[in-house]
Amino acid sequence: MLQTGYIQEIYTKKLWPSLTSPKANATFCQDRPGDPKIQRTGSSLHRYRQTVKKGIMAKTRIPEEIQKEVNKIISTFNEKVYKKKPGVEFYAIYKGDFLYLNRKEGEADGPIARLRFNGQIDNWDFAIFRWSNERYDPNEFLFPGSNHINGSIEGALKAGNEAYPPSWAPSEKNLLDVLKYLSRK
């Protein structure tokens, strides 16, 4: 049985050992019988975004209502910005409290940005994907489009679109589909 007070004691009094070593973390979790096995997700205590719910540790998640609203915002952005570029679109992947913004360009697919949910639809932490080291960097703000970052989904989409403009051009095999699509508009 999980003791809620004990977990709060870990957070408030910082009884946690050095988190740089997974062995120290595993040892600490196994010292007391009945403790939850908390997996190491980062190098500092602040990276543990977990809550105590009914005796079990659970990761924070983005609520379904927020996910639906985010999907509407992304589809509206795609319709408005990529109206004349069929096959180019942003889409979202949800993992825990993160929203990963990826873009599909024809058959190519790649990451653009990562957003961390802070409890409200208009309050997200932004991290751009850096191809130089293939990681998300929340401290990088010197890139084209960084002026759009305002904590909103629209701002993140505009920033990602300006930082990594779409480069997809239709191939000959897709040319007929493109012409059909454009003739409808």
- pLDDT for res 176: 66
**Cα 157 versus chain centre, distance:** 12
For residues 55-64, give the mean pLDDT. 67
User: pLDDT, tens digit, for every residue of 13-45?
Assistant: 444 444 444 444 444 444 444 444 444 444 333
Average pLDDT, the chain: 74
Cβ atoms 69, 35 nearer than 8 A: no
DSSP state of 139: T
Adjacent-strand bridge partners of 52 = 57
User: What does the DSSP assignment read for 22-84?
Assistant: HHHHHHHHHHSTT---PPP-SSSGGG--EEEETTEEEE----HHHHHHHHHHHHHHHHHHSTT
The pLDDT tens digits for 69-126 are 999 999 999 999 998 888 899 999 999 999 999 999 988 899 999 999 999 999 999 9
Question: What are the tens digits of pLDDT across the range 116-172?
Answer: 999 999 999 999 999 999 999 999 988 999 999 999 999 999 999 999 998 855 455
Query: How far is residue 69's CA from residue 56's CA, in Å, rounded to a whole number?
Result: 29
Q: Which residues contact 95 (CB under 8 A, 6 or more apart)?
A: none
